[in-house]
């Protein structure tokens, strides 16, 4: 009977569940309006720290990203991860400066 139980338990064992402590949202394409919104939020909040020296810049940036995630969720109903927004912001600044300039003009 022990063999039968061990055989069935291996066949029916559930797949391991991902940790719930840190939710990951599937990266989907960001709409133009969302990009415009994130650019305006990060520029308004001085995410790059150009307006002055800050005592704790990393904590400040993390707080700004949290507020950006919340604002996008409220306005567009899409849930984004802070890491996704951070990467997209970095891409806009480095690889797509002409797009960033166009978003600022609108």
Per-residue pLDDT, 101: 66
Q: Which domain holds residue 62?
A: 29-105
- Residue 89 maps to a domain: yes
Per-residue pLDDT, 16: 53
Per-residue pLDDT, 93: 81
Per-residue pLDDT, 47: 86
- Residue 23 maps to a domain: no
Q: What is the pTM of this model?
A: 0.63
Q: Could you list the pLDDT tens digit for every one of the 106 residues in the chain?
A: 555 555 444 455 455 555 555 566 556 778 888 888 988 898 899 888 888 888 888 899 999 999 999 999 999 998 889 998 998 888 888 876 676 666 656 5
Of the candidates 35, 24, 27, 32, the residue with the CA atom closest to the CA atom of residue 89: 35
Structural domains of the chain, count: 1
Q: Do residues 89 and 35 lie in contact, with contact meaning Cβ atoms separated by under 8 Å?
A: no
Of the candidates 65, 78, 100, the residue with the CA atom closest to the CA atom of residue 25: 78
Per-residue pLDDT, 9: 47
- Residue 3 maps to a domain: no
Dist. CA 66–CA 46, nearest whole Å: 14
- Residue 10 maps to a domain: no
């Amino acid at each position: 009977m022990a063999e039968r139980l061990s055989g069935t338990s291996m066949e029916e064992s559930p797949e391991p569940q991902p940790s719930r402590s840190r939710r990951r949202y599937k990266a989907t394409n960001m709409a133009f309006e969302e990009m415009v919104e994130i650019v305006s939020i990060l520029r308004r909040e001085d995410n790059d720290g150009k307006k002055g020296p800050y005592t704790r810049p990393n904590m400040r940036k993390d707080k700004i990203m949290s507020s950006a995630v919340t604002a996008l969720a409220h306005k567009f109903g899409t849930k984004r991860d802070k890491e996704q927004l951070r990467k997209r912001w970095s891409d806009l600044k480095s690889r797509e400066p002409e797009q960033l300039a166009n978003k600022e003009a609108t």
